[in-house]
Structure 1
Amino acid sequence: MKRRQQLARIIGLIGAATVIITGFLPPVRQMVNLPKTIMVPSGQHISLPWSTWLSLGSPKAYPVFVEPGRVDIWGANPGHFVLQPKLFGWIPWRPVPVDVTKPLYEVPGGQSIGVVVNTRGLVVRGYAPIVVNGHLVDPAEEAGIDKGDVIVEANHHLVTSNQALEQAVQRSGKRHQAVALGVQGARHFHWRYVRPVWSQTQHAWHIGVVVQGGASGVGTLTFYDPHTLKYAALGHSITDGLTRIPISVRSGQLTGARIVGIIAGSIHGPGQKIGVLANGHNVQGNVVSNGLFGITGILSHKPLWGPKKALPVALPDQVHPGPAQIITVLHGQSPQLFSIRILKTYLQWHAHTKGLLFEVDDPALLRQTGGIIQGMSGSPIIQDGHLVGAVTHVLMSRPSLGYGCYAYWMVKQKSFS
């Protein structure tokens, strides 16, 4: 019996090791990382890393050319088709829809913006224990509500404000019943049942949470469509600050921001722009969505200060190491152009906020900011006359180094929002 158990363990370990090792093989990684959808501007082509284990059956039926380790997808006329990969030539693999769009042109931004959004529900910021008979109790924490959770419903009614949650708690408390809270957690939506307790000091029922119904901040407009005025900004999502999960936006407003000061970054801490909300004279609009690459919405009018000419949007495989520029505001509301050098690009065909690594080499920018600082997120990156990306992150240990996402991903998010 022991020999059989030992043999079973050995076989299990070998199997597990085989799965792990196989998972690191390039053909397997490329199969797993196939994009869910592909967007190709008409008249251009995209080179997609491709697993040698996958075939496309009859590639001549599509504007697709299979090469060792890659597939070239050409955009002819605007339309839609589907790639049908097959593993080892006969096992159907996940299909990949391809949308051939009109040529992508966007006007770069660079304007500083103030953002105020209302969330779909209330974000749990912390706990507020209640004193009962000389002891601290926290019914929400005991019921399994975590910091960063979003309370979406209370007693099967949508929660749109602190007052709505408070009313539900008071009603349930008076009935000596638990309040049913619909909670969006880090991974799943679930129900939590919290029994309110009576606070003798405040003469009200409480469940012991501190919630927030909105978010605000200062960032940078990345680009906008000159015809529809649909925009994209920030380069990364607005999160709850605890779980780093994008918050679900119910509504919001965008307005111009005036930069009144700069705190330079250093190895000791991040720098930041000091901005104050301005009127909508320069920039104004609404906020429709908040995704992985920031916010999208529609501007009320074209910005008065900043670039006016629409530039072609580069595809990820068109961006390369070398000289480039970023557009951002350091004083007032007028964007300026500063030089950077792209050090490394990452060929990726699944959405990621880190697509390229760059270094600030502009003496004026380094002198004033030390490199990349908070508030620059979303600043457009220009290379070879193309809009290639947006600033997303700074390396805390070296503020002159930063990451950017590809503008392609932001355009795709804007198109489907």
Structure 2
Amino acid sequence: MYKFLDLKNKSLLKLKFILFVSFLLYFLSTNLIYSHSIPKDEDYLIPMGNLIQIDAELENLVVKNFIEGSSFCVGDSILKVNGTQVNSYKDFTDLLSNLSTKDDVVVLVKRGENTFSFKTTKNELEKVNCNNYISGFATLTYINPKTNRFGAVGHPISIGLARKVPIKNGNIYTTKDLTIDKSCRGHVGCINAVRKDVIGEFTHNSDFGIKGEIATFKDSLLKPYKVASLDDVKLGKAQIILQTGSYTKDAFDIQIVDIQLQHSPKAKTFKIKVVDKDLLALTGGIVQGMSGAPIVQGDKIIGAVSHAIENNPALGYAVYIKWMNEN
């Protein structure tokens, strides 16, 4: 009797074990099948192409003019005058008014990555055109629909030798009433416009442009594009998206004529050629203000216009979109 119960219990335990293992194998195999069938989370951005005005307050006072025979260079940040810190243009003019024309003046400047002092005079300082404000036009590259962050320009905001000027605070604005000075061989033209509504703010200024937060923009009806891998980018046909009027944007044909296989973030990832007859008639090629214009190829956003080539403005360079988005 006891032996029979023992055998029965053993058989029952064995059956339970077999059922458990079978269920476990089924569960694991089913999950493995489904895990392969679910696509990985991919990045999407909305390519924009809107001409924007960029207004920014800089962290330091920056020299903006060349002075013959002077120790100052365009792009120098003036940090101190005779040991007193300079935080604004008013600070600078107040200090300047109290200086003697007979005495040397010691100025602390930052040039690129280097900070150093040199002696100058009141007369020389009076010739310096400097302020802590910058304004210009560029193109809005993308909006991230998940984070509401934007990227624009495609290259750093720079002044002279100051490749990436530190931004204290900045705003971007929509524009209207565009006017275009066409590019031609030996001359890079530009786009000008009238500032309209503020739509975002930023402080981030990198080698690949500016990034910030969109405060208000009607992007819900705009199509997100998948962010291309560098391997996705092919030689041949692509399109740039660009604002051409107060309320119009168009896609224009270009050719990708060269691709640099960059393994780390660098500028000038692609060489591009404008081939669209309508765009060539409108702008003559690439113009200032077009920097940041998004480039799409098929259903993917691949980059943004970053540089023009002066002796042939139909040619230019573009930066890979991930370098903009991730740096």
TM-score, with structure 2 as normaliser = 0.79
Report SS of the residue matched to 1:331: coil
Do the aligned partners of 2:243 and 2:249 also contact (CA within 8 Å) in 1? yes
> Structure 2: how far apart are the matches of 1:192 and 1:303?
51
> Structure 1: how far apart are the matches of 2:306 and 2:166?
20
- Residue 193 of structure 1 and its aligned partner are, at CA, apart by 4.6
Q: Is 1:117 matched with 2:56?
A: yes
Q: Is 1:184 matched with 2:110?
A: yes
Structure 2 regions of 5+ residues with no counterpart? 1-39
- Residue 152 of structure 1 and its aligned partner are, at CA, apart by 2.6
- Residue 156 of structure 1 and its aligned partner are, at CA, apart by 5.2
Q: 1:289 to 1:154 in 2, by over 3 A?
A: farther
Q: 1:289 is matched with which residue?
A: 204
Q: 1:5 is matched with which residue?
A: none
Q: How does 1:147-186 map to 2 (within 5 A)?
A: 147-154=74-81, 158-171=85-98, 173=100, 180-186=106-112
Task: Output the amino acid matched with 1:286.
Answer: E
> Structure 2: how far apart are the matches of 1:193 and 1:367?
52
- Residue 222 of structure 1 and its aligned partner are, at CA, apart by 0.4
Q: 2:37 is matched with which residue?
A: none
Task: Output the amino acid matched with 2:73.
Answer: D
Structure 1 regions of 5+ residues with no counterpart? 1-100, 130-137, 198-204
Aligned-CA RMSD value: 2.8
> Structure 2: how far apart are the matches of 1:267 and 1:172?
48
Do the aligned partners of 1:153 and 1:159 also contact (CA within 8 Å) in 2? yes
> Structure 2: how far apart are the matches of 1:410 and 1:146?
29
- Residue 170 of structure 1 and its aligned partner are, at CA, apart by 4.2
Q: How does 1:155-304 map to 2 (within 5 A)?
A: 158-171=85-98, 173=100, 180-194=106-120, 196=122, 208-240=127-159, 242-243=160-161, 245-280=163-198, 284-303=199-218
TM-score, with structure 1 as normaliser = 0.63
Q: 1:360 to 1:191 in 2, by over 3 A?
A: same
- Residue 319 of structure 1 and its aligned partner are, at CA, apart by 1.2
* CA shift digits 1:247-267 (9 cap, x unpaired): 111111110112432233222
> Structure 1: how far apart are the matches of 2:271 and 2:121?
50
> Structure 2: how far apart are the matches of 1:164 and 1:128?
21
Q: How does 1:126-165 map to 2 (within 5 A)?
A: 126=65, 141=70, 144-154=71-81, 158-165=85-92
- Residue 210 of structure 1 and its aligned partner are, at CA, apart by 2.2
- Residue 168 of structure 1 and its aligned partner are, at CA, apart by 3.1
Q: 1:145 to 1:359 in 2, by over 3 A?
A: closer
Q: 1:312 is matched with which residue?
A: 226
Do the aligned partners of 1:114 and 1:255 also contact (CA within 8 Å) in 2? yes
Report SS of the residue matched to 1:398: coil
Max Rg structure: 2
- Residue 230 of structure 1 and its aligned partner are, at CA, apart by 1.2
Q: 2:263 is matched with which residue?
A: 349
Do the aligned partners of 1:258 and 1:331 also contact (CA within 8 Å) in 2? yes
Q: Which moved more, 1:178-187 or 1:389-398?
A: 178-187
- Residue 327 of structure 1 and its aligned partner are, at CA, apart by 0.5
